[in-house]
């Protein structure tokens, strides 16, 4: 059974007899994820600082401390990579905490909350 609207077309592309591995989800909700990305869309529509929501998403993860430091053997330097918020990498409670922190930090830095833009007060 498709999990969401994006899953159906992917299942339609499978060939008969193809083997799949199912992984149970533990409560990460599509509505919270959609709300987060809707806020990012509102942000880039109201500020000319980021070309895409993906760029803003990367900056928010970095600003909120969702990073890993690793030693790059090719450059010989320690570098920072942002962590993933993918459904299989971050559960519902951790994503909810990230979302709240990202919303707070964005609002503090930019002076408005894109997650409330357009909503009735």
27-68: pLDDT as tens digits: 678 889 999 999 999 999 999 999 999 999 999 999 999 999
To the nearest whole number, what is the mean pLDDT of the chain? 88
* Confidence at 22, pLDDT banded by 50, 70, 90: confident
Please report, for residues 32, 59, 92, the alpha-carbon distance to residue 29 in angstroms, rounded to integers and kept in the order given: 6, 23, 7
Q: Which helix (H) or strand (E) holds 58?
A: helix 53-63
């Amino acid at each position: 059974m498709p999990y969401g609207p994006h899953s159906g077309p992917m299942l339609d592309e499978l060939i008969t007899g193809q083997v799949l591995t199912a992984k149970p989800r533990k409560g990460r909700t599509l509505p919270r994820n959609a709300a987060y990305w809707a806020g990012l869309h509102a942000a880039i529509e109201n500020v000319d600082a980021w070309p895409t929501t993906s760029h803003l998403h990367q900056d928010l993860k970095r600003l909120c401390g969702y990073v890993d430091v690793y030693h790059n053997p090719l450059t010989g330097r320690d570098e920072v990579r942002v962590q993933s918020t993918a459904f299989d990498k971050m559960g519902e409670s951790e994503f909810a905490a990230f979302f709240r922190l990202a919303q707070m930090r964005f609002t503090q830095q930019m002076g408005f909350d894109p997650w409330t833009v357009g909503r009735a007060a």
